[in-house]
Amino acid sequence: NAGVTQTPKFQVLKTGQSMTLQCAQDMNHNSMYWYRQDPGMGLRLIYYSASEGTTDKGEVPNGYNVSRLNKREFSLRLESAAPSQTSVYFCASSERGDNSPLHFGNGTRLTVT
Amino acid sequence: GEDVEQSLFLSVREGDSSVINCTYTDSSSTYLYWYKQEPGAGLQLLTYIFSNMDMKQDQRLTVLLNKKDKHLSLRIADTQTGDSAIYFCAEGPGGYNKLIFGAGTRLAVHP
């Protein structure tokens, strides 16, 4: 039982490059989320998908796009990376969106130079 | 807006109790959570408490909630080196799991 799987684990980009972070869950969860973690700031919600076919902005959506490809997969795209997007990115899923517990992946550490 | 605050660092001796504190601002929060993050890993849910409860105990973990002061604490009894991690407090104001996380408390356990 893999839970939430994120790829890649590490990535270095140059300013202006694009990339897609992949996330998949095998728990048949309805809701999926992307967070970023920065030192001293806790986790901040970038985008979420309450259910397959829907996506909504979180607290810090600027510079990102998402796709809920199917029930299992939720990807995060950086179209033109900036140094301010250097962070650790976590994908999470939950059975429902009503305060059911979040299950997190192990994160992607992204550095933008 | 909503805010969750925690002290950033706590150091305890192995075998002692650890108490990690958290304050939050949103009085409408339904659930309050404690997550644990070990190095290189994602966050794992440790425990949670409904806002209509004062206390919850789960083996070595005790959660205390003071709604009047909007204060949440996590007590770990008989702290072990394996408890060394970052502990995040989070509040759930509801609505598609829009949790508000604190910055995390790094717990260091020394012999």
Which comes out higher in pLDDT, residue B10 or A101? B10
Over chain A, what HEC string results?
A: CCCEEEECCEEEECCCCCEEEEEEECCCCCEEEEEEEECCCEEEEEEEECCCCCCEECCCCCCEEEEECCCCEEEEEECCCCHHHCEEEEEEEECCCCCCCCEECCCEEEEEC
pLDDT computed for residue A48 by the predictor: 94
Chain B residue with CA closest to A107: the answer is B42
Mean pLDDT for chain B?
90
Which comes out higher in pLDDT, residue A21 or B1? A21
pLDDT computed for residue B2 by the predictor: 65
Provide the pLDDT confidence category of residue B95 given band limits of 50, 70 and 90: low
Contact at CB, B8 and A40, closer than 8 angstroms: yes
pLDDT digits (tens, 9 = 90+) for B57-86: 999 999 999 999 999 999 999 999 999 999
Provide the pLDDT confidence category of residue B3 given band limits of 50, 70 and 90: confident
Chain B residue with CA closest to A9: the answer is B40
Ranges of chain A whose pLDDT falls below 50: none
Mean pLDDT, rounded, for B90-107: 81
Distance from CA of B47 to the nearest CA of A (A): 10
pLDDT computed for residue B96 by the predictor: 55
